Amino acid sequence: MLKGDFKQIVSRFTWELPHTIVGYFHGHLQNNLGNVDKVDYFDGATFLMNENANVINGDGISIGNFIYIRESDEITYTDFRDYVLNNGLYLHEYGHYLQLQSWGSWARLTGDLLSLGSAGFGWRSTPNHRDMWIERDANARAWAKYGHVMGDDAHAMFTGNGHYADRRYYDGRFLRNFLSYGNGWWVFYLYLYDLTFSN
């Protein structure tokens, strides 16, 4: 929990604290259930990986700086940084961690509820989960931070797919997804502020 730069560590125990606590206990739960085969670190995030899981292409969930990934195959690498920079799923989930750093736990909670409703129950105004603004924003953040160093496989995934938008992604569905949530306007403000004043 103390890996990362100074700003990440302070943020983890203040701005992101509710997500840090839930992510920590979720990671321990998955480990105690035997669902964690490897643990590694990348730029302040702890990756807990389950290999040979019963999934088709792999999936992931980011809770605070803890990112849980399930892969259908064995996970092999010599340098974890290179592995992440060549893997679109890992970068996408790291993009959610970047959202948390920008928005903080309470605003990100709205996004978590939207994402859970979309992925788990199909509650969304878009054709599929990957088209939701929060998912595309995670991709855009990962692209903005690592696009210049990501490997060919991840680069092809981010550029050859309509779900991987550029840094300035904005779509009217964003508003429709938030109108029914109480602090949605707060996230809307933070999102516009972030696009205007970051980078």
Cβ-Cβ contacts under 8 Å for 169 (sequence gap 6 or more): 133, 136, 137, 140
What's the mean pLDDT in 94-121? 80
Query: Domain of 185?
Result: 6-197
Residue 162 domain flag: yes
Residue 38 domain flag: yes
Q: For residues 106, 132, 66 and 34, what is the CA-based torsion angle, rounded to 10 degrees?
A: 130
| Cα 89 to Cα 71: distance, rounded to the nearest angstrom | 10
Residue 110 domain flag: yes
Confidence of residue 94 (pLDDT cuts 50, 70, 90): very high
CB 129 within 8 A of CB 135: yes
The count of structural domains within the chain is 1
Residue 37 domain flag: yes
Residue 1 domain flag: no
Enter the pTM of the model: 0.79
Residue 125 domain flag: yes
Residue 143 domain flag: yes
Across 36-40, 88-92, 193-197, the highest mean pLDDT is recorded for 36-40
Confidence of residue 161 (pLDDT cuts 50, 70, 90): low
Residue 114 domain flag: yes
Cα 70 to Cα 3, 60, 190: the distances in Å are 23, 6, 31
The model's pLDDT over 35-89, given as tens digits with 9 standing for 90+, comes to: 999 999 999 999 999 998 888 777 899 999 999 999 989 999 999 999 999 998 9
